[in-house]
Amino acid sequence: MTPPANPPGLSALGDVPCLSGTALLTNPLLNKGTAFTERERDALGLRGLLPPRVFTLEEQVERSLNAVRRKPDPLEKYIYLVNLQNRNETLFYRLVMDHIEEFVPIIYTPTVGQACLEYGAIFRRPRGLFISLRERGRIAEILRHWSTPNVRLIVVTDGERILGLGDLGATGMGIPVGKLSLYTACAGVHPGYCLPVTIDVGTDNPALHTGTAYIGLREKRLRGPEYDAFIEEFIAAVKTVFPRALLQWEDFGNTNAFRLLRRYQSQLPSFNDDIQGTAATALAGLLAALRLTRGKLQDQRVLFLGAGEAGTGIADLFVAAARSEGLSESEARRRCWFVDSKGLVMKNRGDRLAEHKEPYAHDHPFIPTLTEAVKALKPTALIGVSGTPATFTREVIEMMASFNERPVIFALSNPTSKAECTAEAAYTWSEGRAIFASGSPFPPVEFKGRRHVPGQGNNIYIFPGVGLGALACEAREVTDAMFLAAARTLASMVEEQDLAIGRVYPALTRIRDVSARIAAAVARMAHDEGLATLPRPADIEADIRSRMFDPVYREYV
């Protein structure tokens, strides 16, 4: 989505940058590197600061592609790409978009997990805003330090639950940076709109307290009323400094994620991707899988391993979808069962359940293990959101295949090292009958002469389009109905050729089209719900597509 005004650093005329010389070359939004033309080099004081040959963007992409492919491992490739993004955003996004399947696993899952673990050691240049407890009472001032007043999209984390890796404190900044990169590459949100934020309230990870490379506060994580007051100040500052901004909550711990979403959802346009984005992605995969099983949504019995924000978020959206197809709320909830670290979530289990688990605590005898729960409940779909690897054992998968002709098995935990099972295990142990999806990518699997291509149930299919749609109509609120519309749109874009190879998501190469379609569905829902603050265009989707950012160089003179 392109800014309505000139990108930061351009003159009021919109042609010649206000910057020149080395200042221009160090502005990643405006820098073209060796692609500056002869006229631009003379007009903008660049003569002599660049080697004499002028390259095209296509030639720069080829050079960068060769360079990154020479790197020995994914983390080194990540470092190269981040450095490129910090130098020349147009080139970075052109490279990523032209090779989306190759580079999404580098700039986001699974490599971003390793990057966060080593963030302090590989730290080169700050990107985004770090707001720590030392800035209490000054958050609005800190937000004004950002290079542009035109911020429309903020991704914020406090680092407590980074992917399946746990509390990484300030080193969780890799997540907001990566998510906003996907907003631009996958949905065309202009990078000048985007602001990554890490709220540093300490960490309960003792290794970070003693780590020599840790970049954050070496103190225990703030909790309770003081934490709430700090978040309240942050939200008030965002509303004051960036009043048109959409806020995405990212990787907050379970104790805060649900209540922060509920508290602020109607105060400013915001959503939690771990709860709502994951829910829409998983529901879309399940809807697509039903085209293979020939089943109906209201007849499914879903068993979740993991009862945190991702799992209960999926269940909540499943319930909304099932209700729209005729089930009562109580009937729909009875279709969803959970196993957490203590066993089957049930009434009168003996421990105090977290509030988000209570709607799914059914009357049933206690079951201590996943294997026993599968045997007793006979689910049609098994969804892993536990962050615990290898928990979908051979016995579990064989049992799923024994009472389902096409068992649905989604191992959604990220990164790859946390997946509940591999694609190869799911296909092999089910005799090639599983409908499998995972959070991180797995390669195709050959089994008994048939090639299975696993779908990646990654939120990349949902959150960029939802954010784009909300921005396009300047929605006052992002609702669950919008996520349900996004899920149905995504499921509808799974083609027969995808299903033929077992994939329940579209090819990643179609992600810009997917995001545009989802954005249009979200914007339509916002208009229908009376939440859009801009006039309704005659053709919503065409309007959105016309405003999506395309990384090409513009001529300055």
| Domain segments of the chain as ranges | 108-268, 279-460, 462-499+506-546
For 108-268, the fitting CATH number among 3.30.1490.100, 3.40.1010.20, 1.10.3720.10, 3.40.50.10380 is 3.40.50.10380
Report yes or no: 122 and 166 within 8 Å, Cβ to Cβ.
Answer: no
Among the listed residues 251, 327, 328, 333, the one whose alpha carbon sits nearest the alpha carbon of residue 296: 327
- Asked if residue 360 has pLDDT above 70, the reply is yes
pLDDT digits 0-9 by tens, 452-496: 999 999 999 999 999 999 999 999 999 999 999 999 999 999 999
Q: What is the pTM of this model?
A: 0.95
Helix H or strand E encompassing 131: strand 129-132
- Asked if residue 167 has pLDDT above 50, the reply is yes
Report yes or no: 506 and 288 within 8 Å, Cβ to Cβ.
Answer: no
Residue with tokens 């910090």: 86
- Token pair, residue 31, equals 């820098």
pLDDT digits 0-9 by tens, 54-111: 999 999 999 999 999 999 999 999 999 999 999 999 999 999 999 999 999 999 999 9
- Is the peptide bond between 415 and the residue preceding it cis, with omega within 30 degrees of 0? yes
- pLDDT score at 3: 54
- pLDDT score at 351: 81
- Neighbouring residues of 414: CB distance < 8 A, sequence distance ≥ 6: 109, 110, 113, 163, 164, 439, 440, 458
- Token pair, residue 529, equals 């719900």
Task: Tell how many helices (H) and how many strands (E) occur in the chain.
Answer: 24, 14
For 279-460, the fitting CATH number among 3.40.50.720, 3.30.830.10, 3.30.365.10, 1.10.10.60 is 3.40.50.720
Dump the DSSP string for 7-75: PTTB-TTSSSBS--HHHHHT-TTT--GGG--HHHHHHTT-TTTS-S----HHHHHHHHHHHHHTSSSHH
Residue 213 identity: A
Report yes or no: 400 and 433 within 8 Å, Cβ to Cβ.
Answer: no
Cα-flanking dihedrals φ and ψ of residue 474, to 5°? 50, 60
- Asked if residue 7 has pLDDT above 90, the reply is no
pLDDT digits 0-9 by tens, 197-256: 999 999 999 999 999 999 999 999 999 999 999 999 999 999 999 999 999 999 999 999
Residues comprising the chain, all counted: 557
Alpha helices in 265-308 (DSSP H): 278-293
Report yes or no: 19 and 30 within 8 Å, Cβ to Cβ.
Answer: yes
- Asked if residue 291 has pLDDT above 50, the reply is yes
d(CA 432, CA 107): 31
Among the listed residues 510, 388, 385, the one whose alpha carbon sits nearest the alpha carbon of residue 438: 385
d(CA 435, CA 385): 17
Indicate the pLDDT class of residue 4, thresholds 50, 70 and 90.
very low
Longest dimension (CA), the chain: 79
Report yes or no: 19 and 27 within 8 Å, Cβ to Cβ.
Answer: yes
d(CA 467, CA 187): 9
User: Cα–chain-centroid distance for residue 490?
Assistant: 15
Of the listed ranges 6-20, 349-363, 522-536, the least confidently predicted one is 6-20
- Token pair, residue 14, equals 């919109």
- pLDDT score at 13: 42
- Is the peptide bond between 105 and the residue preceding it cis, with omega within 30 degrees of 0? no
Mean pLDDT of 147-156: 93
- Asked if residue 9 has pLDDT above 90, the reply is no
Among the listed residues 137, 83, 143, 77, the one whose alpha carbon sits nearest the alpha carbon of residue 111: 77
Dump the DSSP string for 181-227: HHHHHHH---GGGEEEEEEE---S-HHHHH-TT--S--SPPP-THHH
| 108-268 and 279-460, same CATH topology | yes
- Token pair, residue 260, equals 């922060």
The catalytic site residues sit at 108, 179
pLDDT digits 0-9 by tens, 20-67: 999 999 999 999 999 999 999 999 999 999 999 999 999 999 999 999
**201: left (phi > 0), else alpha (psi -120 to 50), else beta?**
alpha
d(CA 137, CA 126): 23
- pLDDT score at 2: 59
